[in-house]
Amino acid sequence: SYELTQPPSVSVSPGQTARITCSGDALPKQYAYWYQQKPGQAPVLVIYKDSERPSGIPERFSGSSSGTTVTLTISGVQAEDEADYYCQSADSSGTSYVFGTGTKVTVL
């Protein structure tokens, strides 16, 4: 089955840059998406189609793709960005979906 691998945790000081990676064999052929989930809340889409930002999402959130790895970058991290982040993609037919293992971002 298709898997997406993320680092379990990333720690960053306020104002610094956090980078979260997501690796998967199908990512060169499939878009990736990123969700932010704060404790006790539903996930929120922060990046779609590798690098597009939905309306209402701060500009400090950006996405990029290179080969089998996609990256979510949070520039100028704020305390409110502390959350779990999940990448997501689809199989080649677009009928089956998979989420990454999740990364907990801690703001020091």
Partner 1 sequence: EVQLVESGGGLVQPGGSLRLSCAASGFTFSSYWMSWVRQAPGKGLEWVANIKQDGSEKYYVDSVKGRFTISRDNAKNSLYLQMNSLRAEDTAVYYCARKYRTHNTGWFDPWGQGTLVTVSS
Half-sphere exposure of 22 (CA within 13 A, CB side): 32
| Identified binder of partner 1 from the candidate list 17, 66, 78, 96, rule CB under 8 A | 96
Give the CA distances from residue 89 to residues 31, 56, 64, in Å, rounded to whole numbers and listed in that order.
6, 22, 14
Stretch that binds partner 1, among 16-24, 62-70, 71-79, 82-90 (CB under 8 A): 82-90
- Ramachandran sector of residue 65 (left: φ over 0; alpha: ψ -120 to 50; beta: rest): beta
Q: Which single residue is written with the structure tokens 């298709």?
A: 2
95 binds partner 1, rule: CB under 8 A: yes
90 binds partner 1, rule: CB under 8 A: yes
| Identified binder of partner 1 from the candidate list 24, 74, 77, 88, rule CB under 8 A | 88
The residues of the shown chain that bind partner 1, judged by CB under 8 A, are: 1, 30-31, 33, 35, 37, 41-45, 48-49, 54, 86, 88-90, 92-102
